[in-house]
Chain A
Amino acid sequence: MMRMRSKWIIGLTVAVTVLALGVFGCAKKEEPAKPAEPILIGGIFDTTGPTSGVGKDYAVGAVDAAEYINANGGVNGRPIELIANDYAYKPDKAVELYKTYRDKGIFLIQGWGTGDTNALSALVNKDQVVYMSASYDSGLNDPSKTPYNFYVGTSYGDALRAAMKFVKDTWTGDRAPKVVFTYPDHPYGKNPIPSGKAYAKELGIEVGPDQIVSLRATDAVSQLTNMKKFNPDWAWIGGTTPSAAVTIKDAAKLGLDTKFLINVWGFDENMPELAGEAANERAFGMAPFTFYGVDVPGMKPILEMHNKKHPDDKHLVRYVQSWVSMMVMWDALKRAETLDGPGVKAALEQIRDFDTGGLTAAPITFTPTDHRPNTTLFIYKVDAEGKQVPVQSSTLERKPEWLGK
């Protein structure tokens, strides 16, 4: 009995050891580099979570852009590989993905939301990983605080200021214009509000009580009933397109004369369809990017990719947004002296007046002391026929005191 037991134990131990060695051996064997090893890029997208309504198209755009880059020579001959993963808008999931990418040696990430980008920014800057987010949160554009965070859209703070300026400039009444802020309970909605309010006060705009409309709202009657008491001339919407459409529809129903200025993620090609006639002459969008399919030189490769890969799909301006982010990244990768975080960061910070082929309202510039891509955006509106037309392009000063706010 005793002898048999020890035999078993020895046998099993040997078996386990052999197996373990086998696993190690196999893993080791895979490591030698292939001829042109791709440059890995981490993707953290929301394709199933609360912002997936806009997030899925963004992710598809990034994946297509990666293919386009590879078809056009890659990074000095080396292809890139975008690892696209969904994090369902959960910050902890984003941290997990980030750590996985970092430990793979990835030094460049295409990320998504405001909450998680902010949460990761401490880690990212410690690890020297370049993080290009779809969150244009103003808190991320001050390189003295977040040197490794980049984005390509006009910051939310600047968008809000541009909106206030637009209100002031177009105001013709005798009294001060009245404005109310509506936004969802998310960092994306909340973060730009204080700087927007401060600027509104500076311009002499009267600000009413804030209203919270959740991203998943299916009606906003109680919020708008409250808003009606103050009866504002303009209202800011800091949500995504579905909740913005709900707000506008219910406002029209309740007979409010208020017009709405909507942040970048709340105004896209779906707006006229979702809000119907309610949006006409009522919905104004802050648009740092050209809408999908508009005839500008930069749109050509996008349409090519679209026709080649999924001609039946419908795309939004979100596709353009991630495309631009990938193109800026491509440019920096090609010029980077060293292919690592600091090298790409330095290359990004050398970008001066990067021509997006008309995909953005203005060329993009990054400097080592200022990560605001530009301070210009289009103001679109839905006209009386339900078409989205540009009203004007609005440029703010690059004031140093607005950096990071």
Chain B
Amino acid sequence: MQQCGIFHETYKEDMAIFQTPFIKFWMALFFAFLAVFPWISKPLNAALNTNTLYLMNLIGIYIIGAHGLNILTGFTGQISLGHGAFMGVGAYSSAILTIKLGIPFWVALPMAGLITALVGMVFGIPSLRLKGLYLAIATMAAQFIIEYAMRNWTSLTGGSTGMVVSSPSFFGISIDSDRSYYYLIYAFVIAATLFTKNLARTRSGRAFVAIRDRYLAAEVIGVNVWLYRILSFGVSSFMVGVAGSLWAHYVLVVNDEAFGIWLSVQFLAMIIIGGMGHVLGGIYGAIFMTTLPILLRIPEHALTQVYPGIFAIFQSLTEGVFGLIIILFLIFEPDGLAARWHTIKNYWKLWPFSY
């Protein structure tokens, strides 16, 4: 049973993340589900016609990246078309650190995050002088420049052949199966989600939002706009870099093809569909964008049985479906799934006495 109103008596209650026993219970159930998921995912494989655990792991990685972009775009209002490449920077850094320098994964991962944060901040410098649309173009340029470096700095990145990475190990146990990696990824997902949720409630988080809403006013009330914009770029790229590092040690191949502008667009689509500026937005968006191509494969597969050859047409339409969904969401549901979920919840809260 949900509460119909707010009856908080202490600040602590007001600031709590999980406010009611009802939510606490469901969250506990949800975490329990997450914990046992790898053991019960097998039957779902047939239904979805894919490796569900692999899918969950990818979703987890994208959630971390989407949270990162959400901090930058959703909270601070700075658009980035370069997060795909930033994720690549994280992946390559981690690969180079572990393979060429022999640094263990557990050290390489935060270092990859830091390197990405640095790169992100460098390309974020134009944001100090420029507004939204210029920044979009600047980060798009960053995307292409980084892609070029990944492909052509052969001595460092292995060029277009890419690099083969090894799985991390935890006290001598190799984390190389989908199942063990699942727990690794979701530990980071939970950490990233809590971080994002809490960031919004700190001084920095409020500064970010103030900059987004009206940066001149923010400056007037004493927010250091320059500092927080760069900081936002740094934090955001750090998270994407960590996602990249996790990706590299999971997929085990790092190659520039994976980090094209398409990935950047996907990240933006995730937070738009999920809900910009909502912590849940990144999660919903990542789930939606990662599951959609798998779901699209089902009708395609069925039709291919009837008309072989149709699959070639179908597959070229997949990207178009993405584009269409982005357009429809922006026109009809600009606040994303998170907001829609909120509306539905509120409706049922007062049901049947809603007005």
Contacts and interface: CB of A to CB of B under 8 A. Distances in A.
Interface string A185-224: 1110011000000000000000000000000000000000
A314 interface: no
B309 A47 contact: no
Interface string B45-74: 111011100100010000000000000000
B183 interface: no
A295 interface: no
Contact of B258 (A30, A84, A90): A90
B164 to A, nearest CB: 7
Contacts of A99: 51, 54, 178
A23 B312 CA distance: 32
Contacts of A84: 304, 311
22 contacts: A5-B22, A9-B25, A24-B43, A47-B311, A47-B312, A56-B312, A86-B318, A91-B253, A91-B257, A91-B258, A92-B251, A92-B253, A92-B255, A96-B58, A99-B178, A115-B161, A115-B257, A116-B253, A122-B252, A185-B151, A185-B159, A309-B308
Interface residues of A, number: 50
B193 interface: no
A100 B151 contact: no
Contact of A27 (B44, B164, B178): B44
A8 B58 CA distance: 34
Given A99-B54, A119-B164, A48 B253 contact: no
B296 to A, nearest CB: 11
A310 interface: yes
Interface in A31-60: 31, 47-48, 56, 59-60
Nearest to B300: A85
- Interface SS of chain B: helix, strand, loop or mixed? helix
A84 to B, nearest CB: 5
Contacts of B152: 185
- Interface SS of chain A: helix, strand, loop or mixed? helix
A95 interface: yes
B160 A190 contact: yes
A89 B257 CA distance: 8
A310 B301 CA distance: 19
B133 interface: no
A322 to B, nearest CB: 13
A67 interface: yes
Contacts of A190: 159-161
Interface of A: 1, 4-5, 8-9, 13, 23-24, 26-28, 30-31, 47-48, 56, 59-60, 63-64, 66-67, 83-86, 89-92, 95-96, 99-100, 103-104, 115-116, 118-120, 122-123, 185-187, 190-191, 309-310
A90 B257 contact: yes
B45 A104 contact: yes
A308 to B, nearest CB: 11
Contacts of B308: 63-64, 66-67, 309
Contact of B316 (A1, A47, A123): A47
A96 B247 CA distance: 12
Nearest to A189: B160
B162 interface: yes
B213 interface: no
A309 B309 contact: yes
Contact of A115 (B22, B25, B162): B162
Contacts of B304: 63, 84
